[in-house]
Amino acid sequence: MESIDSGFTGPYKYVCEERPKDYSYYNKYDIAWNSMDNYQVQQKLGRGKYSEVFQGVNTFNNQPCVIKILKPVRQEKIFRETKILQTLYGGPNIVKLFDVLRDQATKTPCLVFEYIPNIETKQLNY
């Protein structure tokens, strides 16, 4: 395999070349969408350019979670984020992606993450 000089050095220089093509190919990624029936939104935590984020709960097991409701974007962007989070699941300092949902009526995609309690920076006393 002919190597492409990516400008990177160290042990990860050729990591993408060593993986199969589908490792980083997102255009035709098949997501197994689940129903939103087991989740309930409780309060809004924030918003960004591509999503709104809510604290929620899994009504099946009462586990707290974070529900990220994605705004309309290119399908490839959703595939990319989902595949990266599923690939890195269980890694150090990576938030766990519990579920991928889509509303039946509106086809709005949602990502469900583990809930990690935090303290806002402005509330910390340095």
**Which pLDDT tens digit goes with each residue over 21-50?**
666 666 667 788 888 899 999 999 999 999
Distance CA(28)–CA(115), nearest Å, equals 30
Domain made up of 32-116: CATH architecture: 2-Layer Sandwich (3.30)
Distances (CA, A) of 39 to 1, 43, 55, 62, 105: 47, 13, 10, 9, 16
Domain ranges of the chain: 32-116
pLDDT number for residue 117: 86
- Is 94 a residue whose pLDDT tops 70? yes
> Residue 55, Cβ neighbours under 10 Å: how many?
15
DSSP 3-state assignment of 83? Answer: helix
Instruction: Tell which wins on pLDDT, 101 or 5.
Output: 101
Task: Transcribe 30-80 into DSSP letters.
Answer: ----B-GGGEEEEEEEEE-SSEEEEEEEETTTTEEEEEEEEPS--HHHHHH
* pTM over 0.85, yes/no: no
Q: What are the respective helix, strand and coil percentages of the chain, to the nearest 5? A: 20, 30, 50
Cα–Cα dist 113/81, whole Å: 13
